[in-house]
């Protein structure tokens, strides 16, 4: 079974440019999460999808970040325009969760974003 995949693995952009990160969850996983780690800090939650619906956006830092999950499969996270403080590693995770079952989140390898 393929794990969570993310593309690209690295991205280097100039301040003010736009970047789009992609995440493909484990097949059949309805839950998809975005997290990020900025330099020297712990991993922080950004948002949670259940299928194509945003369940929890409480971690999104500001309106420069836009996440979508069309069709309930892969997800994209767009940063527009990028700022220096957006640099970090962006992780995607997915889980299969039905009502009453337990939630084990499996992470992808991450996308390292550098904003110059």
Partner 1 sequence: EDQVTQSPEALRLQEGESSSLNCSYTVSGLRGLFWYRQDPGKGPEFLFTLYSAGEEKEKERLKATLTKKESFLHITAPKPEDSATYLCAVQDTGRRALTFGSGTRLQVQP
Judged by the rule CB under 8 A, the positions of this chain that interact with partner 1 are 4, 31, 33, 35, 41-45, 48, 55-56, 58-59, 91, 95, 97, 102-110
- Is residue 90 within 8 A of residue 11, CB to CB? The reply is no
- CB atoms closer than 10 angstroms to residue 110: 21
In the complex, minimum distance from the CB of residue 61 to partner 1, in angstroms, rounded to a whole number? 14
Of 17 and 76, which has the nearer Cβ to partner 1? 76
If phi > 0 it is left, if psi is from -120 to 50 it is alpha, else beta; for residue 41 that is beta
In the complex, minimum distance from the CB of residue 100 to partner 1, in angstroms, rounded to a whole number? 12
Of 22 and 44, which has the nearer Cβ to partner 1? 44
Of 14 and 42, which has the nearer Cβ to partner 1? 42
Q: For residue 57, what is the DSSP state?
A: -
Q: Half-sphere exposure of 114 toward its Cβ, with a 13 Å CA cutoff?
A: 5
């Amino acid at each position: 079974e393929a794990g969570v995949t993310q593309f690209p693995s690295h991205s280097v952009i100039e301040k003010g440019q736009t970047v789009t990160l992609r995440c493909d969850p484990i097949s059949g996983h309805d839950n998809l999460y975005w997290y990020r780690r900025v330099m020297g800090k712990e991993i922080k939650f950004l948002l949670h999808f259940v299928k194509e619906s945003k369940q929890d956006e409480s971690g999104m830092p500001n309106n420069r970040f836009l996440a979508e999950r069309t069709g309930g499969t892969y997800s994209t996270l767009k940063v527009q325009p990028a700022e220096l403080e957006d640099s970090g590693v962006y992780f995607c995770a997915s889980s299969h969760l039905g009502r009453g079952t337990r939630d084990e989140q499996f992470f992808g390898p991450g996308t390292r974003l550098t904003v110059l």
